[in-house]
């Protein structure tokens, strides 16, 4: 693998930025993003996703495009990426309001690359998609815009992202990477490229479709397993059994898979199964288990809200106009990522019951939450111990470490405490998922 390659990473979010920073230690890298505010933020040396530390980002930043030295040049101008030879696309792959795959970001990124592509260039996709998306949906766009022929004038690879937002142990370099290419020769080039930065090593898949399928089933499998324990939690609630006690007992068997019930959000687990289901239906197969798991997990927020309301009724708390405090709105703990957070389902359902809901999250960005979900975060009290006073119900939705300091034992005995994450001591709460 030559060290004089010019790389371009398109999409500088949770996936693209950490990858671009690592590659910039070995190659000249241009980081491209259509969001000018994101580029401005990164040029100041700060990453609001907190995936890359400020000092680490500043250490690789370059000031000129097309450098001959390893560095990271950041831009939103297409002219600054025209001399690159390898383009790595790391844009989001969301679903629409009907849970159908939205390939718009991938198509737009492919059009951008098509405008600057040169003969011999390689386009590598990292975004999670259904099998066939790279060659059946994206390649034709590149061919149309560039006027070039696939596997003659330009080539493609697919190396699915395995970023776990907020995880400082399993980072981009410490997670084994699946690679693939449109020809055996390109597959080897792609594999050697990633070996430069992936300390955990790589696995070269025999085709792009295999790599695409491998990625999409990773999260689909996890989604189904969580759906199973979510159903278990519902059964246990009807039987008056503590779900966590059941899981703790079952975990004593050596081959038991210790999944936890909860709200399944985020940009991967709650989205990727729909990509696989869509492709399955297109080829004539209706997936049963995948969609059943999605239905179970997508309805957990409303079910949790219903459980909270039942507890309030049992304590003779007037549900209509009751005050409820939701702790946490990010999709996971100790992370600012609010994408596809299912906490909003709990909030909206409680509002339907007439509850007055306040939300507090020390990790989330207030304006972003307001824009995405229409929810105003409340400011923190001077002392977090006093934060929860005056509410009829407290709901622990996200297990941020900062919530350990909350003095729930000092609350009014009539206050309902519902712990979705089984985060607090069992004796301190009315119920937990």
| pLDDT confidence of residue 336 | 94
Contact 255, 107 (CB under 8 A): no
Residue 82 annotated in active site: no
| pLDDT confidence of residue 379 | 86
Residues 6+ apart with CB under 8 A from 393: 308, 311, 312, 317, 322, 323, 324, 325, 355, 415, 416, 417, 418
| pLDDT confidence of residue 163 | 84
pLDDT one digit per residue (tens) for the chain, 433 residues: 555 689 999 999 999 999 999 999 999 999 999 999 999 999 999 999 999 999 999 999 998 888 888 999 999 999 999 999 999 999 999 999 899 999 999 999 999 999 999 999 999 999 999 999 999 999 999 999 999 999 999 999 999 998 888 888 888 999 999 999 999 999 999 999 999 999 999 999 999 999 999 999 999 999 999 999 999 999 999 999 999 999 999 999 999 999 999 999 888 888 999 999 999 999 999 999 999 999 999 999 999 999 999 999 999 999 999 999 999 999 999 999 999 999 999 999 999 999 999 999 999 999 999 999 999 999 876 566 677 778 999 999 999 998 887 777 667 678 899 999 999 888 888 999 9
| pLDDT confidence of residue 66 | 83
| pLDDT confidence of residue 327 | 94
Q: pTM (2 decimals)?
A: 0.92
Q: Is the dihedral of CA 142, 147, 151, 155 positive or negative?
A: negative
3-state secondary structure the chain: CCCCCCEEEECCCCCHHHHHHHHCCCCEEEEECCCHHHHHHHHCCCCCCCCCCHHHHHHHECCCCCCCCCEEEEECCHHHHCCCCEEEECCCCCECCCCCECCHHHHHHHHHHHHHCCCCCEEEECCCCCCCHHHHHHHHHHHHHHCCCECCCEEEEECCCCCCCCCCCCCCCCCCEEECECCHHHHHHHHHHHHCCCCCCEEECCCHHHHHHHHHHHHHHHHHHHHHHHHHHHHHHHHCCCHHHHHHHHCCCCCCCCCCCCCCCCCCCCCHHHHHHHHHHHCCCCCCHHHHHHHHHHCHHHHHHHHHHHHHHHCCCCCCCCEEEEECCCCCCCCCCCCCCCHHHHHHHHHHCCCEEEEECCCCCHHHHHHHHCCCECCCCCCHHHCCCCCCEEEECCCCHHHHHCCHHHCCCCCEEEECCCCCCHHHCCEEC
Residue 235 phi/psi, 5° resolution? Answer: -65, -45
| pLDDT confidence of residue 330 | 96
Catalytic residue, chosen from 156, 268, 335, 355, is 268
d(C-alpha 429, C-alpha 423), whole Å: 10
| pLDDT confidence of residue 170 | 87
Contact 433, 421 (CB under 8 A): yes
């Amino acid at each position: 693998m030559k060290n004089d390659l010019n790389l371009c990473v398109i999409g500088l979010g949770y996936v693209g930025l950490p990858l671009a920073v690592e590659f910039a230690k070995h190659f000249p890298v241009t980081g491209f993003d259509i969001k000018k505010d994101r580029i401005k933020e990164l040029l100041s040396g700060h990453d609001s996703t907190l995936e890359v530390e400020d000092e680490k980002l500043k250490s690789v930043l370059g000031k000129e495009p097309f450098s001959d030295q390893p560095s990271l040049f950041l831009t939103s101008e297409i002219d600054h990426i025209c001399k690159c030879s390898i383009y790595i696309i790391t844009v989001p792959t969301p679903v629409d309001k009907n849970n159908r795959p939205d390939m718009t970001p991938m198509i737009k990124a492919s059009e951008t690359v098509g405008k600057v592509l040169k003969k011999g260039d390689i386009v590598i996709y990292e975004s999670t998609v259904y099998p066939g998306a790279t060659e059946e949906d994206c390649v034709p766009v590149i061919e149309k815009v560039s006027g070039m022929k696939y596997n003659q004038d330009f080539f493609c690879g697919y190396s699915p992202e395995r970023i776990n937002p907020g995880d400082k142990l399993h980072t981009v370099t410490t997670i084994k990477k699946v690679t693939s290419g449109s020809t055996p020769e390109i597959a080897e080039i792609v594999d050697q490229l990633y070996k430069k930065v992936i300390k955990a090593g790589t696995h070269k898949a025999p085709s792009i479709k295999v790599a695409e399928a491998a990625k999409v089933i990773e999260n689909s499998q996890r989604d189904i397993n969580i759906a199973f324990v979510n159903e278990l939690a519902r059964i246990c609630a009807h039987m008056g059994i503590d779900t966590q006690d059941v899981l703790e007992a079952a975990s004593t068997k050596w081959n038991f898979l210790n999944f936890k019930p909860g709200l399944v959000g985020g940009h991967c687990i709650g989205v990727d199964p729909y990509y696989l289901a869509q492709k399955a239906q297109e080829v004539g197969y209706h997936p049963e288990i995948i969609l059943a798991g999605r239905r179970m997990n997508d309805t957990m927020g409303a079910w949790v809200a219903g459980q909270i309301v039942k507890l309030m009724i049992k304590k003779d708390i007037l549900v209509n106009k009751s005050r409820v405090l939701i702790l946490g709105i990010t999709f996971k703990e100790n992370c600012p990522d609010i994408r596809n957070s299912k906490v909003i389902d709990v909030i909206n359902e409680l509002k339907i019951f007439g509850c007055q809901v306040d939300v507090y999250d020390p990790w989330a960005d207030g304006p972003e939450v307001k824009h995405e979900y229409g929810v105003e975060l409340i400011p923190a009290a001077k002392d977090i111990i006093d934060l929860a006073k005056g509410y009829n119900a407290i709901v622990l939705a996200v297990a941020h470490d900062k919530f350990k300091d909350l003095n729930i034992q000092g609350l009014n005995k009539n206050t309902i405490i519902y712990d979705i994450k089984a985060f607090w001591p069992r004796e301190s709460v009315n119920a937990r998922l």
